Structure 1
């Protein structure tokens, strides 16, 4: 598909957008952090490119959303500020609006889905906003916020479908290019599309040749479905661990910008996301929420090799319980944990035999359940369920082979 940005009229349009993004940079001075790029040897090695992390999880509110929210509130007239603002959000936009409103002395009401992680709800309240919890996803919270906007004459601050919000998010691309002016590609998480739209406008205005790739979860690919159908699609359901991008319907403005200026949208599984989360934590000591790790999961899907690639780590607002779950799932996904069961004859020495096999295979046992009640013949057979620490999928396959060679049938649990 030919991109509109190759046309002269679009070039003029991009220059207008760039001027607005530059104004946003001035508005954000002293508010948002210039998050310095971090070179990643591990992600570079895994995908065959030169990968840099843009750590927006280090912003004061823990996510990039502060950029768009603050820039939007800066554009309000005195009478609009007096009316107060309202926003709907799965968490990060909520904190961005609440923090910005507090800084600018504006009353804020935030409508959030009931499923929003508690850490995001409490953080939003801590910035002085009134929080209302309703619905199971962003779209239901959005409908309630729009209703309250009419009832109370609030100013609605859209999380993505607003040019001033997009201009704030576009400052991320400007910062990337200030550090590496010959960047080849930028990978961006996609929910409603505000982040990637802003980044695309800035990047394409500064260098048409930069490739912009969006990354969506397979269970919430509203933007990809919309692009494939050449019109906005409203998904019936969304199902993904990446709650920050669990959007059923993309924005009207963002859709048009993305259709014209974004080169590609790829989708990733929840397991891909969990693997990326684990690598960010283990190798870079960076905490990412699931949606924040999306662009790193997308690295496996791009065809380019030997390119300079910037990945946006969009946010790190995640609770400790979820971190624990994500670590365990990530370990399983990368073949670092292996749980299986086998049946043994109920006689002395069998457990020692299995232990020896595992020891010789360098598998570290971390959990074991010896249960004679799980077999069809509990007087002759015993089911042994074992969880071992492993070094990857090849190691797991080697353990299975070693057990098979000794006559054990392995039932892989995870």
Structure 2
């Protein structure tokens, strides 16, 4: 069992390598949730995520012989960067196996630290199995993303920082993927402050820990799918499972729509880029999955490495969900003045036209008709309803996309 001395020793070893990330109060989220919300910004950590803590602590614990043989890891991205950075700093050969669909930004960032990249498998679990084969064939040391005491000790240093920055915190909300972060955060926090609560948050499409807790044993999901690729794991680690079961007070889940809303809100209100895995804690608070009032709550933003293409899709999707973006298609008579009639409605409702595409040819279009695709910037859902009602009153038949 890890002791407080292990976490303190890890913090000492990491002190000249990692950043002491900010813990900032948010008036916006506090008002929205009726609690005092503080954001622990590990998205501003070196390599863009908390993973550098555990990876570096593990690599620093290796013998000289182990360092010569090199290290290998499997990761969707953040652990990869942490391992690659630490290995590069110490001059240790490093191989990283990543899923074939890993975000390009994470692949490039990992490669920039000097690691050899191997793309294999559709998800983390497939990459993990292949990395084990390479490790056994080449004698390298495997640096597990979450099922390792040294890694867990490194992740738990976050709690030591939090409880120095906010000693009277009531609750820490942490993401859960394989469980290493939640295990380290929970155990370290309760060794320092036994009465603090720790709540873990998973993506609904990858709820391996909650499934395992309900059955009382480690379970492997048949399928996982979520935009939060950093926590898209089929099976929790054995050691994290035991620690989470003992020290995490509650585990909840959030859907991808809630995660995207939280990411968008963090961009708009806080000017923070936070990846899906890092936004699940705030998503749970905003979606009332965590029931409390008037508490001092630290929400851990675990990482900020987002693929730009994914980010643009999330922004658009988030705007749609918030009622701030409307795309509709309508078939209209192909005669002068039709577009003017529609534009007048948009102008009177003070909706900004982003684009209009006008087509006279297509499978659904007959002679004398035209298809019009319109993208509008709107204020909220009631604004959209008014626009659609007025279009209907003018005889337009449309579909919303």
TM-score range, shorter chain: over 0.9
Hey, what does 1:329 align to over in structure 2?
317
- The 1-side partners of 2:293 and 2:384 are apart by 29
SS where residue 48 of structure 2 aligns?
coil
Deviation of residue 410 (structure 1)? 4.1
- The 2-side partners of 1:225 and 1:392 are apart by 36
Task: Give the 3 Å change call, closer, same or farther, for CA 170–377 of structure 1 in structure 2.
Answer: closer
- The 1-side partners of 2:209 and 2:163 are apart by 26
Residue 47 (1) aligns with residue 33 (2): yes
Hey, what does 1:353 align to over in structure 2?
341
- The 2-side partners of 1:113 and 1:228 are apart by 29
Contact 2:365 2:371 in 1 (8 A): no
Normalised TM-score (structure 2): 0.94
Residue 60 (1) aligns with residue 46 (2): yes
Residue 399 of structure 1: which of 362, 387, 391 is its match?
A: 387
Deviation of residue 167 (structure 1)? 0.8
- The 2-side partners of 1:257 and 1:74 are apart by 23
- The 2-side partners of 1:317 and 1:37 are apart by 19
SS where residue 61 of structure 1 aligns?
helix
Deviation of residue 372 (structure 1)? 4.5
Q: CA RMSD in A?
A: 1.9
Deviation of residue 170 (structure 1)? 0.6
- The 2-side partners of 1:213 and 1:239 are apart by 22
Q: Deviations over 1:88-130 (max 9, x none)?
A: 1111111111111122232222111111112212221222222
Deviation of residue 347 (structure 1)? 3.6
Deviation of residue 47 (structure 1)? 2.1
Residue 211 (1) aligns with residue 197 (2): yes
Task: Give the 3 Å change call, closer, same or farther, for CA 307–82 of structure 1 in structure 2.
Answer: same
Residue 155 (1) aligns with residue 141 (2): yes
Hey, what does 2:75 align to over in structure 1?
89
Contact 1:277 1:293 in 2 (8 A): yes
Hey, what does 2:158 align to over in structure 1?
172
Long gaps (5+) in structure 1: 1-12
Q: Deviations over 1:290-349 (max 9, x none)?
A: 222222211122111222211111111223222222221221122111112334344433
Contact 1:189 1:291 in 2 (8 A): yes
Deviation of residue 227 (structure 1)? 1.3
Residue 314 (1) aligns with residue 298 (2): no
Hey, what does 1:288 align to over in structure 2?
274
Contact 1:184 1:307 in 2 (8 A): yes
SS where residue 305 of structure 1 aligns?
coil
Contact 2:43 2:305 in 1 (8 A): yes
Task: Give the 3 Å change call, closer, same or farther, for CA 406–375 of structure 1 in structure 2.
Answer: farther
Contact 2:330 2:397 in 1 (8 A): yes
Task: Give the 3 Å change call, closer, same or farther, for CA 18–394 of structure 1 in structure 2.
Answer: farther
Contact 2:73 2:95 in 1 (8 A): yes
Contact 1:296 1:311 in 2 (8 A): yes
Q: Deviations over 1:337-366 (max 9, x none)?
A: 111233434443332222111111111111
Count of aligned residue pairs for this structure pair: 399
SS where residue 122 of structure 2 aligns?
coil
Hey, what does 2:251 align to over in structure 1?
265
Deviation of residue 28 (structure 1)? 0.7
SS where residue 338 of structure 1 aligns?
strand
Deviation of residue 177 (structure 1)? 1.1
- The 1-side partners of 2:364 and 2:89 are apart by 67
- The 1-side partners of 2:396 and 2:389 are apart by 9
Q: Deviations over 1:351-397 (max 9, x none)?
A: 22221111111111112133344586734554432110011222222
